[in-house]
Amino acid sequence: MENNNNGKATASLVLGIVSIVFIFFNVYAFIGLILAIIGLIIGIQAQKESPENGMAKAGVVLSIIGLVLCAISFIACAICIGAFSSLRYFY
Amino acid sequence: MLPTIEVLGREISLYGLMGVIGIFFGVIAAIYRRKIYNINKEDVIFSSCYAGIGLLIGAKLLFIITIIPDLIKHKDLLLANPKLLLHILSGGLVFYGGLIGAFLGFYIYSKQYKIDFLDILDLIAPSIPLIHGFGRIGCFTAGCCYGIEYDGLFHVIFQRSQAAPNGVALLPVQLISSGINFLGCIPFFIYARKKRKPGKIIGIYLIFYSIARFTIEFFRGDVARGIFFGVSTSQWISLVLIPIGLWLYFNKFAPDQE
């Protein structure tokens, strides 16, 4: 159980770090977004199973940072619902 | 207005930034209010993370649903240039999709970690208009979700927006929407200072916002609104959410805890 928990914590930490790297890839930041989401869910699970696990805590924090930064980076050309009007821009 | 700002040589979207600022203050407010519902700080933060993930997925999914006809219409262009598709998909978020997605996120968390679902919703309810108020300021900076043509008092003219028609006088409907949300959250926070019957607070929010959104939609000028039978997607969702809000408000099955 402890090993399993450590595995989850490590996975969360790694995913959190990798997701942060993706903030520099503009539109491809969505890959970082997906990694951060997975890292966050696994990290929360590990943290809930053993609240004292520092690695899980770090994984959760890094995944949150990755999620936030990738979200900002991904929606950089943000246009709410009228995004299709931006097609004119690309034509 | 000002779609992006430059931070350390990188362009940052103010739209996304305002959304993140809104979520930050919303979660802080929920953490501050958590003792009313006896929910610990970790659960507030973790459930907000689940809700945040649901918000992103839901807002994006509803956006994709509303643009399906356009995607089909331009499919040849999009197939020839997949990066363009990625650009379009990166742009759109629909609030109602985000709201429903966030509720689903809270639901999954509450089931997974055995927390009362209605308690979490009631805890977070006053934070929603606060978050949304910031989000609408973000819309204004990007020029999206713009209003109808209007050249009266307080009209706005966009100059370098990718979404709004540039050089045309428009109603600043994003700021009106933001103002309604900010003003609405004040009495809401006051009312929610003590524990009410489960579902009552979130019920009030759904009724308040659905009516406000249904009305505001008439003053929106953006084209891709997913109109069905003369009513937009968001108005249809408002019509569905009003009875749900009323049902939650008058929830007779819940024990009275006032």
Tell me the average pLDDT across A64-83.
Answer: 69
Decide if B255 is inside a domain.
Answer: no
Segments forming the whole domain that contains residue A74: 2-90
Confidence of residue B235 (pLDDT cuts 50, 70, 90): confident
Q: Looking at beta carbons, which residues of chain A come within 8 Å of B134?
A: none
Confidence of residue A25 (pLDDT cuts 50, 70, 90): confident
> Is A88 a residue whose pLDDT tops 50?
no
Q: Looking at beta carbons, which residues of chain B come within 8 Å of A85?
A: 162-163, 222-224
Task: Assess B252–A contact: CB distance below 8 Å, yes or no.
Answer: no
- The count of C-alpha atoms lying within 13 angstroms of the C-alpha of B17, restricted to the half-sphere facing its C-beta, is 15
Chain A residue set in contact with B, beta carbons under 8 Å: 27, 30, 33, 37, 40-41, 44, 47-48, 51, 60, 64, 67-68, 71-87, 89-90
Tell me the average pLDDT across B147-159.
Answer: 86
- Given an 8 Å threshold on Cβ–Cβ distance, is A84 in contact with B67? yes
| The pairing of beta strand B156-157 with beta strand B169-170 | antiparallel
Decide if B124 is inside a domain.
Answer: yes
Decide if B51 is inside a domain.
Answer: yes
Does residue B231 sit in helix, strand or coil? strand
Decide if B66 is inside a domain.
Answer: yes
What average pLDDT is seen over chain B? 85
Tell me the average pLDDT across A23-29.
Answer: 76
- Given an 8 Å threshold on Cβ–Cβ distance, is B224 in contact with A81? yes
Segments forming the whole domain that contains residue B153: 4-249
Decide if B240 is inside a domain.
Answer: yes
**A4 or B44, greater pLDDT:** B44
- Cα–Cα distance measured from residue A8 to residue A60, given in angstroms and rounded to the nearest whole number: 11
Decide if B257 is inside a domain.
Answer: no
The verdict on pTM exceeding 0.90 is no
The number of domains in chain A is: 1
Tell me the average pLDDT across A39-44.
Answer: 93
**B86 or B189, greater pLDDT:** B189
Angle at A6 between CA A5 and CA A12, to 5 degrees: 90
Q: Looking at beta carbons, which residues of chain A come within 8 Å of B142?
A: 78-80
pLDDT of residue B166: 83
- Dig out the tokens for B228 from the structure: 């069905």
pLDDT of residue A81: 40
Instruction: Yes or no: say if A59 and A71 are a contact pair by the CB < 8 Å rule.
Output: no
Tell me the average pLDDT across B36-53.
Answer: 91
pLDDT of residue B134: 93
- Terminal-residue alpha carbon distance, chain A: 56
Most confident range (mean pLDDT) of A58-67, B7-16, B223-232 is: A58-67
Residue A57, number of CB atoms within 10 A of its CB: 18
**A53 or B1, greater pLDDT:** A53
Confidence of residue A78 (pLDDT cuts 50, 70, 90): very low
pLDDT of residue B225: 63
- Given an 8 Å threshold on Cβ–Cβ distance, is B224 in contact with A84? yes
The number of domains in chain B is: 1
Interface size, chain A vs chain B, as Cβ–Cβ contacts under 8 Å: 136
Q: Looking at beta carbons, which residues of chain A come within 8 Å of B81?
A: 90
DSSP states of B136-190 = HHHHHHHT-S-B-B--STT-EE-SS-SSSPTT-EE--HHHHHHHHHHHHHHHHHH
